Copies of this chain bind each other. A is one copy, B any other.
């Protein structure tokens, strides 16, 4: 199945808004850390419903914001969710970014990077489009240390890349991004039922669910293009 088929179906089922709600718990902390100044140009890779760009326009007075996605249905919805002239959407692939060299101040990506078919090359593309000193904030819930996410691959036909924290740092550096920071951002908002509700479909024990959300959460790697 292609990215288009998989994610068009998700968008048609309303999963774009569902992801926005769930990812917002940690994505908002990522967005809050980004040093976006008024007028800065931001690129959101795998924009889904486009919530990140709407938030950065509202809170940071960001300049032109672009959402790239491979799924036309996602893009159609995202376009419907805003009438802000400063936000534009386009269809493209992570491995062949249609942006000029040094044209972007900040790249954001939430729960999307690992779908790239050639992630090291995607990082090179990010380095290319960022101006020197520009930042990349790449956030993922699917990563090696988050054992609870490993089974997600079973539910999707696109091959997913499961790096560890150190592997993300190494790959950033290989691609020419200085690693400025890395950590995991806990989800403190998802509701965790009382112990007697376990096992659930997803978690054997309450402890496992607490570890998945309150402790592991979202892995954020922050890179800076140095030249």
Residues of A near any B CB (own CB < 8 A): 29, 32-35, 37, 132-135, 137, 169, 173, 178-183, 222-224, 226-227
- A-B CB proximity, top 10 nearest: A180-B180, A133-B178, A35-B179, A224-B224, A33-B181, A33-B183, A226-B226, A180-B224, A178-B224, A180-B222
Contacts of A181 in B (CB 8 A): 33-35, 135, 137, 180-181, 222
By a CB distance below 8 angstroms, the chain B residues around A224 are 178, 180, 224, 226
Q: Which of A32, A35, A134 has the most CB of B within 10 A?
A: A35
Beta-carbon contact of B132 and A226 below 8 Å? yes
**Does the CB pair A33–B133 fall under 8 Å?**
no
Chain multiplicity (copies): 2
Query: Least Cβ distance of A14 to chain B in Å?
Result: 31
Q: List 21 A-B contacts (CB under 8 A).
A: A29-B183, A32-B183, A33-B181, A33-B183, A34-B181, A35-B179, A35-B180, A37-B169, A132-B178, A132-B226, A135-B179, A135-B180, A135-B181, A178-B224, A180-B180, A180-B222, A180-B223, A180-B224, A224-B224, A224-B226, A226-B226
Q: Which B residues are in CB contact (< 8 Å) with A34? A: 181
Closest residue of chain B to A135, judged by CB?
Answer: B180
How far is the CB of A219 from the nearest CB of chain B, in Å?
Answer: 12
Closest beta carbon of chain B to A164's beta carbon, Å: 13
- Which residue of B has the minimal Cβ distance to A183? B33
List the B residue with the shortest CB-CB distance to A223.
B180
Q: Give, as a whole number of angstroms, the nearest-CB distance from A104 to chain B.
A: 14
User: In the complex, which residues of chain B have a beta carbon less than 8 angstroms from the beta carbon of A32?
Assistant: 183
A173: which B residues are within 8 A, CB to CB? Answer: 133
- Report B-chain residues with C-beta under 8 Å of the C-beta of A132: 178, 226
The residue in A32, A224, A226 that gathers the most chain B C-beta atoms within 10 A of its C-beta is: A224
